[in-house]
Structure 1
């Protein structure tokens, strides 16, 4: 009988495991796209359910209807109201003249507006730089001059990505040269995001044309990329003090763990990737102050640390349940924050870890992850998803840090490294990977786990944390099924979920 948890049998349209995601349907789609040279199809996706008609951008001739995979990147723009909110900006009254003027659009709103207009434009006209500059004339009049320029810059970036996906590298370089003139790593969020994405596209071209030799990554490279936080410690602390993302994740997890062991006198907490572990001081304090059913004994087992040498050493060993020394009278809880995504590029290790978790039979497993699908086997899907996600991060830094802040510059260089790996690499070289909550749901269910609804107390605590920050109007916690999503201006950044075995 086929094992439902066999890693080779688990495959989604999101490309959870690239090695097994390119199925017959995907291969057939790619073949049709190559034969018909339908460049705009990469971005247009399913403008309506089923099939669509497009114009060939190079010849202007109409092509036959072409089937596409569902959930194409820009379908989000049309079918997801929450992600589309405030796309056109918020109008406010000018205190001097009384006329309505637009507030500055966020970087993600700019990217989505550019994407929508790129779809409209590319399905009717031949793409070149001159056409991309002011292609709609008066339709841009409702934007501020800066937003107008940002939309145009984002369109040029999309055109470059589309040419890269079609291996038209000379055309792509022309668009990238224009991006380099207009983008800047010291400008506004859109200019900064385009700066790093253009870099990544340039590296991809160099790799695919043989100018940049591939570097084979080891199994611990993704873990080491997570450990980069130790080198940028001061900058991440500065961000931590301005934005409540990590606090929400940690304290929501602590509350869920406390509730799951409410009647347990002895608790064994297993922490995958502990980093500093400072959050567990709050858990210990809360457990000590519990009047009903006080916790008599708490044990914490650490699987990883941010120490590079220890991470590498741990990576050499095979994880088994014998490492944990579980006692029969202990209530076992597992906390995995941004750990499982590190093993997406090494699926055998991920499978081993989940089989061990299943044998431990925890009362609860709390999982926090990046809420973005940055692992699609289709380059253009992955490019669009990462563009939206990182644009939200660049926008966040714009709101909480000055443009010349060294912490901000350090953080953005770190983001740029992730962008280059996601966009510029394939196969074993691409070690920065993440999938969204729906994919994790399917994955955990394969191992016999069910989602546990996070309580109203968890939600209250999360919102209480947000209220302590100046950026509270931009950060939100949204309920998704039984789980939470931490968002920046409507764009999901992190998710926190809780799981138990049937």
Structure 2
């Protein structure tokens, strides 16, 4: 598929996954290795497999619509042989959809008995559909409380948004384990880092600005690639991490990265910039060296800065003042910002059903504590923010890549096409483990879309000023 010269300019997935980092100070962040004992095929036909969580939710949606319409509806012939447990899951999801419709129409007295039935039949430790309904039923209850004035909207926003943001952005063992065992972050990161590598590889001085670095594992990918260059060896790699949280944990990540760079014979320095809000950033915060190649990496940041809109505007202007070679943006790929509540609920529910299906396959019963952390925090608390809060207090707004294209183009930013090497790297990572086989990778115009069984989960876009 790729020429020899093209592959030489790519990152080395094999080197990254087979490196022994236990001899460095990265021991808290182990890397995944392919389990050769697993022989599952990469893509089983649906007719030979049990229905996924998304399949069951789609059947429930079809049954729900059919109960209210005489129009012809899609059929699911391959799913007619459902087990009793699967049909119970379909009925449970249908009850949740019915409750959401009643809430959207502000018929709260009708919705409450439906939610009680959902609560009775769901569980945080049950089947994937039971777990999904458990968390989404609570999000709907929060919406009722907000709509009826039982809980002030600002109180819900303050409590939920702060906790979720802190968990998402703070380095932790749980976050590192989740990154190791669930494919989406690694697939997207490999594609994004490949794009950055292609834009800075000919420079002697490279400056990476990471807006919300988290565990920092992604930069070992770039270090591998830079250390393997036979020509134009770099003089210095600098990583600047911008955070709105405490500097201490981020500085520890920096120490690990600098130590790892030394094992690669790379000169690396690390700096932390702590601000109260990303909107406060300006050129004066950064230590820049004339002639260095600057690249910006923003993972799940822009969707948290849309309210008020001038916060994101300020960040983009600050990035523009740095004159970066490229800005790589990774975001949730979902239309979860509809003004119509029911539309937003349905879109979010299908997105979550694909995510729960992924967690069941990648974590299953072998790692229930980690799965519980992911489902209760990322999906449970996240659903409350998306579904229970309206107006400017809903501080996380996940949108599709087309919306971000329209926004960034307002600032004179041109979308850069992700190369075939970026797609190739993403595909290699997605095929790394048999449990990751349903992870799908494709292009939407110039951007990369990472999904689960075709359901879009993340987008990776590259921008040049």
> Is TM-score (shorter-chain normalized) higher than 0.5?
yes
Could you report, residue by residue, the CA deviation over 1:287-322 in whole angstroms, capped at 9, with x for unpaired residues? 233123222222222222653899984329722122
For the pair shown, the structure with the greater C-alpha radius of gyration is 1
Q: Do the aligned partners of 1:222 and 1:342 also contact (CA within 8 Å) in 2?
A: no
How far did 1:388 drift?
1.0
Q: Do the aligned partners of 1:164 and 1:205 also contact (CA within 8 Å) in 2?
A: yes
Q: Secondary structure at the match of 1:381?
A: helix
Q: Do the aligned partners of 2:157 and 2:389 also contact (CA within 8 Å) in 1?
A: no
Counterpart for residue 235 of structure 2: 296
- How has the CA–CA distance of structure 1 residues 316 and 183 changed in structure 2, closer, same or farther, with 3 Å as cutoff? closer
Q: Secondary structure at the match of 2:234?
A: coil
Counterpart for residue 194 of structure 1: 133
Q: Secondary structure at the match of 2:243?
A: coil
Counterpart for residue 307 of structure 1: 246
Q: Do the aligned partners of 1:466 and 1:475 also contact (CA within 8 Å) in 2?
A: yes
* Aligned equivalents of 2:202, 2:68: Cα separation in 1: 61
Is residue 2:186 matched to residue 1:225?
A: no
- TM-score computed with the length of structure 2 as normaliser: 0.77
Is residue 2:233 matched to residue 1:287?
A: no
Higher alpha-carbon deviation: 277-286 or 354-363: 277-286
How far did 1:222 drift?
4.6
* 1:264-413 pair list within 5 angstroms: 264-304=203-243, 307=246, 313-315=275-277, 318-403=280-365, 405-413=368-376
Q: Do the aligned partners of 1:345 and 1:431 also contact (CA within 8 Å) in 2?
A: yes
Is residue 2:62 matched to residue 1:116?
A: yes
How far did 1:499 drift?
1.1
Q: Do the aligned partners of 1:344 and 1:434 also contact (CA within 8 Å) in 2?
A: no
Aligned residues: 393
Could you report, residue by residue, the CA deviation over 1:124-169 in whole angstroms, capped at 9, with x for unpaired residues? 59xxxxxxxxxx9x99954332222222211111111111011111
How far did 1:446 drift?
1.1
List runs of 5+ in structure 1 lacking aligned partners.
1-85, 93-102, 126-135
Q: Do the aligned partners of 1:235 and 1:408 also contact (CA within 8 Å) in 2?
A: no
* Aligned equivalents of 1:112, 1:218: Cα separation in 2: 30
* Aligned equivalents of 1:445, 1:194: Cα separation in 2: 39
Q: Secondary structure at the match of 1:215?
A: helix
Is residue 2:435 matched to residue 1:483?
A: no
* Aligned equivalents of 1:485, 1:316: Cα separation in 2: 26
Q: Secondary structure at the match of 1:280?
A: helix
Q: Do the aligned partners of 2:362 and 2:436 also contact (CA within 8 Å) in 1?
A: no
Higher alpha-carbon deviation: 434-443 or 358-367: 358-367
* Aligned equivalents of 1:141, 1:327: Cα separation in 2: 64
Is residue 2:420 matched to residue 1:456?
A: yes
- How has the CA–CA distance of structure 1 residues 149 and 219 changed in structure 2, closer, same or farther, with 3 Å as cutoff? closer
* Aligned equivalents of 1:405, 1:457: Cα separation in 2: 36
How far did 1:216 drift?
4.6
- Structure with the greater relative contact order (CA < 8 A, sep ≥ 6): 1 or 2? 2
- TM-score computed with the length of structure 1 as normaliser: 0.72
* 1:86-97 pair list within 5 angstroms: 90-92=46-48
How far did 1:201 drift?
0.9
- How has the CA–CA distance of structure 1 residues 284 and 487 changed in structure 2, closer, same or farther, with 3 Å as cutoff? same
CA RMSD of aligned residues (A): 2.9
* Aligned equivalents of 1:245, 1:315: Cα separation in 2: 27
* Aligned equivalents of 2:363, 2:78: Cα separation in 1: 33
List runs of 5+ in structure 2 lacking aligned partners.
1-42, 251-272
* Aligned equivalents of 1:183, 1:227: Cα separation in 2: 28
* 1:49-68 pair list within 5 angstroms: none
How far did 1:194 drift?
0.9
